[in-house]
Amino acid sequence: MLLSEPLYWGMRVTVMNLDLTKVRGQWQVASASATLLNANTAPEDKQVADLVRPAHQKVLEYVNGVIGTCKQKMTGATTCWEDSAAVDLINFVQAQAVKAGLVGTADENTPVLSIAAPFSRTARIPAGDVTVRDVAGL
């Protein structure tokens, strides 16, 4: 068995080498090895970069788009052990979205509950303009 965990967000990449042999008409793995590489040490492939650049630019424009404002900063730093405005915000937005989705249905008057968990102690919403990127951190 070969197992690799190359981290997240493309920060690492795993190169897996599988040596195969054919035994009675079936392929079998004779040996397997893996090498973990840091993505930030690999040279950029110009052809690939040129192909994905328009989509990448579109994503950057989206995540950096301002979607609202906040009167004071909110962080996820202490959400594991105390009440947090950031988690309260998630609960409020979730409940409002479900309530809006129920309007005009047989369940329109059904009570709505929301639950949220602190997924990141480094998440923060800044005071002032808030972007999609900021909210995604929560």
Instruction: Look at residue 86 in the predicted model and tell me its pLDDT.
Output: 85
pTM exceeding 0.85: no
Percent of all residues in the chain with a pLDDT value above 70, rounded to a whole number: 100
Longest C-alpha distance within the chain, in Å? 70
User: Do residues 72 and 127 make contact, with C-beta atoms less than 8 angstroms apart?
Assistant: yes
- Which residue would you say has higher pLDDT here, 64 or 9? 64
User: Which is nearest to 134 in space by CA: 58, 75, 49?
Assistant: 75
pLDDT in tens, 35-47: 998 988 888 899 9
Distance CA 48, CA 106 (A): 50
User: Which is nearest to 9 in space by CA: 133, 135, 115, 94?
Assistant: 133
Instruction: Look at residue 75 in the predicted model and tell me its pLDDT.
Output: 87
User: Which is nearest to 72 in space by CA: 124, 32, 33?
Assistant: 124
